[in-house]
């Protein structure tokens, strides 16, 4: 495993991190608790030291499972969690619909204390605003409170996770240029390159460390899907299966040159593509089983992608993978 300093923070994170949402929610298929714990512990054994979660993942379970799996190794791991969604008002969630958010100082302090309890720790390494809108990023009192939490030793660093889907350029730009955050989590993959490519020069100017999630474009780039793939109703991909999968497979045809020209798997190539970008210190692939874990953890040591291959991937994306305009618009929905 390789490690990188996350921007100008003191956090040296593994180039492969573990996003706990795959083992804490059923959005990627059901994973039994014992299997989830085994995956997390094996990831640590293989050199992964950065584990990313959120209080909103199954109403706190995404934090509790990290404590169960890695509590005894707390000093050896870097834990990132997120805040901002109101999971405490007992308002039932409507499917995958976004919850109400609260970035008031009072709410953040309460959320932080609850996360500390669930994680079984007295400090959080990376505390991230979870998909904040521009109005939240404009609140001075939010960032004053975060500075207080740093001074109190409850958090080491704070950051912003932009999303939940691709887009959100204004929020990312404001986080770096106006709030001068030292770390930011973004979406970036061969199939979903914007606005990440617009973020990179800003991140270099502001010395912001980046964490990239969904490098496999929700599974399209891990080599497991075909036109007959079906998802469970709870899986977040099921509601858009027809457009998302069918159009995604059409785009993949243009990427055969990567697997034909490189010895790595497409899953490893997708990760190396992200690590080749400026300021990306760690990548969070969606890990759901042991085979994926071993494959993805080996990615940093796999063959580098030649610059001409990277340039071709950029060109394909900029040309909408040569899809007809109607197809490209449908695939983006």
Give per-residue pLDDT as tens, 189-227.
999 999 999 999 999 999 999 999 999 998 899 877 655
pLDDT at 83 over 70: yes
Residue with tokens 């001068």: 180
CATH of domain 3-236+265-305: 3.20.20.100
SS3 category, 215? coil
pTM: 0.90
The pLDDT of residue 242 is: 53
Mean pLDDT estimate for the chain: 90
Helices first, then strands: H and E counts in the chain: 14, 10
Greatest mean pLDDT range, 95-104, 237-246, 320-329: 95-104
Residue ranges of the domains in the chain? 3-236+265-305
End-to-end CA gap in the chain? 36
The pLDDT of residue 127 is: 98
Cross-sheet strand order for the sheet of 124-130:
18-19, 50-52, 78-83, 124-130, 155-161, 183-187, 209-213, 280-284
Mean pLDDT of 264-275: 97
pLDDT at 183 over 70: yes
Mean pLDDT of 134-154: 98
Quote the tokens at residue 36: 């989830």
The pLDDT of residue 161 is: 98
Q: What's the DSSP call for residue 25?
A: S
SS3 category, 185? strand
Mean pLDDT of 169-179: 97
Please report how many Cα atoms fall inside a 13 Å half-sphere around the Cα of residue 56, on the Cβ side.
21
């Amino acid at each position: 495993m390789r490690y990188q300093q996350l921007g100008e923070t003191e956090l040296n994170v593994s180039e492969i991190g573990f996003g706990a949402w795959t083992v804490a929610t059923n959005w990627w298929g059901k994973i039994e608790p014992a299997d989830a714990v085994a995956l997390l512990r094996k990831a640590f054994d293989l050199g992964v030291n950065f584990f990313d979660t959120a209080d909103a993942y199954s109403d706190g379970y995404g934090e509790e499972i990290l404590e169960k799996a890695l509590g005894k190794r707390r000093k050896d791991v870097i834990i990132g969690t997120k805040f901002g969604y109101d999971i405490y008002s007992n308002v039932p969630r409507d499917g995958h619909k976004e919850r109400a958010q609260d970035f008031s100082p009072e709410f953040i302090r309460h959320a932080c204390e609850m996360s500390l309890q669930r994680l079984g720790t007295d400090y959080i390494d990376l505390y991230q605003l979870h998909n904040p809108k521009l109005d939240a990023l404009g609140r001075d009192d939010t960032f004053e409170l975060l500075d207080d939490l740093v001074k109190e030793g409850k958090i080491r660093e704070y950051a912003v996770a932009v999303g939940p889907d691709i887009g959100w350029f204004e929020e990312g730009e404001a986080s770096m240029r106006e709030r001068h955050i030292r770390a930011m989590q973004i979406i970036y993959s061969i199939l979903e390159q914007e606005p990440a490519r617009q973020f990179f020069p800003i991140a270099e100017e502001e010395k912001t460390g980046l964490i990239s999630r969904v490098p496999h474009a929700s599974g399209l780039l891990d080599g497991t899907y075909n036109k007959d793939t079906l998802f469970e109703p709870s899986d977040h991909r099921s509601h858009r299966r027809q457009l998302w999968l069918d159009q995604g497979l059409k785009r993949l045809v243009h990427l055969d040159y990567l697997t034909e020209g490189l010895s790595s798997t497409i899953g490893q190539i997708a990760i190396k593509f992200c690590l080749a970008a400026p300021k990306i210190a760690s990548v969070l692939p969606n890990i759901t089983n042991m085979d994926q874990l071993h494959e993805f953890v080996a990615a940093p040591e796999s063959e580098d992608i030649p610059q001409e291959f990277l340039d071709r991937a950029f060109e394909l994306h900029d040309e909408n993978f040569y899809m007809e305009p109607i197809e490209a618009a449908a695939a983006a929905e």
